[in-house]
Amino acid sequence: MTAHRPTAPISRDQQLRRVAQDLEATFLSEMLKSAGFGESRTAFGGGAGEDQFGSFLRDAQVKNMVATGGIGLAEHLFEALKERADGN
């Protein structure tokens, strides 16, 4: 039996930052999808499997992009969300 460690509550700023990063990730994923990233190639493509799982690859790469700063959209979204939450 393992002991449960109490988890520290997530601050409001951490929650807002997570939401902002999720929004940036969704935006980037849609942009890459529109650009054709993750679509199967006609020659030497991966077939049906590549078509079905290409979105997973795109989403994983987008999460890495956002975690390393992305395009800066998350920071702007975070500041806007924080300002709104503070009532300014």
Which range marks the domain in which residue 80 is found? Answer: 12-33+49-86
Q: Is residue 72 part of a domain?
A: yes
Q: Is residue 2 part of a domain?
A: no
Q: Is residue 38 part of a domain?
A: no
Q: Is residue 41 part of a domain?
A: no
- Work out how many domains the chain is built from and give that number: 1
Higher per-residue confidence, 1 vs 16: 16
- Running DSSP on this structure, what letter comes out for residue 7? P
Q: pTM for this one? A: 0.73
Q: Is residue 61 part of a domain?
A: yes
Q: Is residue 42 part of a domain?
A: no
Q: Is residue 44 part of a domain?
A: no
| pLDDT reported for residue 67 | 93
Half-sphere exposure of 62 (CA within 13 A, CB side): 23
60 three-state secondary structure = helix
Quickly list H helices, the chain: 12-34, 47-67, 73-86
> Does residue 1 have a pLDDT over 60?
no
